């Protein structure tokens, strides 16, 4: 029987976290690194990567950065190859990079719809496919953690957000997770998703400025997500502690999706 501390250890493991230079992505990447994993983060801008790498270095964590815009279909395989070049292989993939767009459905431009779907769905598919083909499937092991959202579990109240494209994309990620878990379990690959509720981030800044107090008041725990609230879940899904968990969607939302 393995000690609990060892079950949650990621010593000797490697991880690729997209959108890992700030916000929720950085929080999760740091958590994986703190548990012993060597980490590659990707982001669209080198300046953001540099700031994030300083945070890793301050904690004594081995980390690398790769500039990649996953809205570009050619970027997915290039990122997978670059991460494997730096790490040797990829044990853990966190598909966190994403975009949102707020507009009434009747006014939503096609290019806005395409921007959200191309990054949030197509980019996740292409990168996951590349990492699976190049590293996880040949090695018959791996953990894929997709970042969905509680916006993918239900619609919006009429007096709140108008985010049809974002909600649709995250709903797609929910079933992408379940379906891939069923298919890639034969290769020893776990596929799960985290569905965050409302966390302060660049994407949610405007919404929380206008409605943050109300959203917190409507949450059973009475608070928004914080800087440590995704760490435990991502480590669980990435580690041996979660080896018999696959195809699951874990809402981390203070209880919003329960009520």
Dmax over CA atoms of the chain, in Å, equals 58
d(CA 22, CA 116): 19
Structure tokens at 184: 């890639």
* Side-chain half-sphere exposure of 83, counting CA atoms within 13 A: 33
| Per-residue three-class SS string for the chain | CCCHHHHCCCCCCEEEEECCCCHHHHHHHHHHHHCCCEEEEEECCHHHHHHHHHHHHHCCCCEEEEECCCCCHHHHHHHHHHHHHHHCCCCEEEECCCCCCCECHHHCCHHHHHHHHHHHHHHHHHHHHHHHHHHHHHHCCEEEEEECCHHHCCCCCCCCCCEHHHHHHHHHHHHHHHHHHHHHHHHCEEEEEEEECCCCCCCCHHHHHHHHHHHHHCCCCCCCCCCCCCHHHHHHHHCHHHCCCCCCEEEECCCHHHC
Catalytic annotation, pick one of 56, 166, 176, 237: 166
Beta-carbon neighbour count of residue 55 at 10 Å? 16
Query: Is 166 a catalytic site residue?
Result: yes
CB atoms within 10 A of CB 67: 16
Q: Which sequence positions are flagged as catalytic?
A: 166
């Amino acid at each position: 029987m393995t000690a609990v501390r060892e079950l949650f250890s990621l010593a000797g493991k490697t991880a690729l976290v997209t959108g890992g230079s700030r916000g929720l992505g950085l929080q999760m990447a740091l958590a994986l690194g703190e548990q012993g994993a060597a980490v590659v983060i990707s982001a669209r801008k080198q300046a953001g990567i540099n700031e994030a790498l300083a945070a890793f270095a301050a904690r004594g964590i081995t980390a690398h950065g790769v500039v990649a815009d996953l809205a570009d279909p050619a970027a997915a395989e290039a990122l997978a190859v670059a991460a494997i070049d730096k790490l040797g292989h990829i044990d853990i993939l966190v598909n966190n990079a994403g975009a949102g767009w707020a507009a009434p459905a009747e006014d939503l431009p096609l290019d806005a719809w395409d921007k959200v779907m191309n990054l949030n769905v197509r980019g996740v598919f292409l990168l996951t496919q590349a990492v699976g083909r190049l590293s996880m499937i040949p090695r018959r092991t791996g953990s894929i953690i997709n970042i969905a959202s509680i916006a993918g579990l239900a619609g919006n109240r009429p007096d709140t957000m108008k985010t049809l494209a974002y909600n649709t994309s995250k709903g797609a990620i929910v079933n992408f997770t379940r379906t891939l878990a069923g298919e890639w379990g034969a290769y020893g690959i776990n596929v799960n998703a985290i569905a965050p509720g409302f966390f302060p981030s660049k994407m949610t800044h405007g919404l929380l400025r206008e409605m943050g107090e109300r959203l917190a008041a409507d949450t059973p725990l009475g608070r928004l997500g914080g800087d440590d609230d995704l760490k435990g879940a991502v480590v669980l899904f990435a580690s041996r502690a979660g080896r018999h968990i696959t195809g699951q969607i874990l809402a981390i939302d203070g209880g919003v999706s329960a009520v």
